[in-house]
Amino acid sequence: MSLAGHIANITKTPFYELRKISLIRKCLTDDAAEILVHAFITSRLDYCNSLFKGLPKTLFKQLQSVQSAAARLLKRELKLKHITPILRSLHWLPVHKRDEYKVLLTMYKVYHNKAPLISV
């Protein structure tokens, strides 16, 4: 069982959305562009991302390429510029760190009884 097909689907749709946003980017304010990116791109990367724990680096690179493209679009940077300073300026964690953070946050909430109760 592999998540490669799922990852391919997750990356295909956001790239399509990024292309549409890039066509109207010059007409958008920075705040409006950021809202669109969070609505259409980041939400897809975050959906069920706890399943990505332990993925091979090659699959994480595919997810990271989506996030990098979104960051470059927001900051109007060229593809040749290194992505780390751009992500830092947006206060975004790389995809693999973001997934790790979300899992750790969930475990913290469970440990401190702050997680939602599940009724069976």
CA 95/CA 68 separation, integer angstroms: 9
Question: What's the pLDDT tens digit per position in 91-103?
Answer: 999 999 998 998 8
* 25-36 CB burial, b ≥16 within 10 A, e <16: beeeeeeebeeb
Instruction: Write down the pLDDT at residue 1.
Output: 61
| pLDDT at 118 > cutoff 90 | no
Q: How far apart are CA 88 and CA 9, in angstroms?
A: 27
Mean pLDDT for 10-31 is 94
**What pLDDT is attached to residue 73?**
96
119 has a pLDDT exceeding 90? no
Rounded CA separation 69/41 (Å): 10
Cα–Cα distance, 110 to 106 (Å, whole number): 6
pLDDT surpassing 90 at residue 64: yes
